[in-house]
A and B are shown apart, each in its own frame.
Chain A
């Protein structure tokens, strides 16, 4: 899906846990996430810390959308 959105010219960042799969399907901007059942959260944290973690990941995704890249890039 990421690839088709980019093919249409829409810059797309893939936030996902299994980075090798994202790379093999051809995502260009990749942000590694927390875990498979909760990519943008962590139930073992308190609500405030968990929200802060999510916001940070989303900001990282935005940073990826703002960055011109040559090829597949993982934004650690």
Chain B
């Protein structure tokens, strides 16, 4: 029977919500939470001997330290296979799962499997290094994710051959494998071309990597520049007048800070549901530094702070939405002759 160690965040590890996101790693013997579902899928082929649980904020604020602490905990259990998550579209959780999986593979030489929604930032960071089962964006897809992760973990653990990404359900790792096929390449290429011309679906054998990088914009003289604040940290006027959603935001807000020197718990709050809101609600300047920029404006260190700021909630927000928000915001900022932006994220 294979020995498996499982990694979970504070939420799936049943410790608590965002108020517990700062807990350091701990270890529990046996399966916890989603580990029970894995137990069902593993049957008598593998056993979760221990579960490591760590707060998402703790992990991401102390990536190197937390990784070392967790590796020490895992070592004692001598696992044959390591699993993490699934993390769905939770960014901090996905980053943690990817980091730990890679560290475990590198240090102990054992295989690791995690699961994420393709837009999770952990995917781009770790897909080359780690098997990441493609999941839905929320825990509604737990059952399917667990069954695919478990099946891949068993195959890896028993050193069975691993199929192509679409067969096993993992996100392509950019690895090319030579295979034998019936038809020669020229025939396959022509068939594909005919399908393409007819507008029929076809699968390329050689997908191009998707590099989307933007060259840095030119520096500005901030002493003369009009500077705007933008945040994905959800800072909104008290009462959240535009009803920006606490997760998977479908909109952003534009709010006046004309004549405002300082954000306070009376005037502003956070609408973000993905971090402990206590500190931001107590003093919203901790996320959107209006007070410091006003002072720098008075000191002549910036030309002017733009009279409006833009805010949305970056919590499981789709890339398509974030892109659209920013394109609209950029258009308005350019019309307002804003020359530079400080964007804060939680």
Question: Which A residues are within 8 Å of any B CB, using their own CB?
Answer: 1-18, 20-22, 24-26, 28-29, 33, 35-41, 43, 51, 54-55, 57-59, 61-62, 65-73
Contact = CB atoms under 8 A, between A and B. Distances in A.
Please list the 10 inter-chain residue pairs (A to B) with the smallest Cβ-Cβ separation, ordered nearest first.
A41-B286, A4-B326, A8-B330, A1-B326, A16-B345, A11-B217, A28-B216, A38-B279, A38-B286, A12-B341
Nearest to A63: B222
Interface string B307-322: 0000010100000001
A18 B57 CA distance: 9
Given A8-B333, A37-B279, 13 more contacts: A1-B230, A17-B345, A20-B121, A20-B125, A28-B215, A28-B217, A38-B279, A40-B287, A54-B289, A66-B221, A67-B219, A71-B216, A73-B216
Q: Among A9, A38, A54, find the residue whose CB has the most chain B CB atoms closer than 10 A.
A: A38
Interface of B: 18, 21, 56-57, 60-61, 63, 91-92, 95, 121, 124-125, 212-222, 225, 227, 230, 232-233, 275-280, 282-283, 285-289, 291-293, 295-296, 301-302, 312, 314, 322-323, 325-327, 329-331, 333-334, 338-346
A12 B95 CA distance: 24
A71 B330 CA distance: 21
A11 B345 contact: no
6 contacts: A2-B326, A3-B214, A18-B95, A28-B216, A39-B345, A62-B296
A14 B343 contact: yes
A62 B222 contact: yes
A39 B233 contact: yes
A75 B254 CA distance: 28
Contacts of B61: 17, 35-36
Nearest to A13: B342
B286 A40 contact: yes
A25 to B, nearest CB: 6
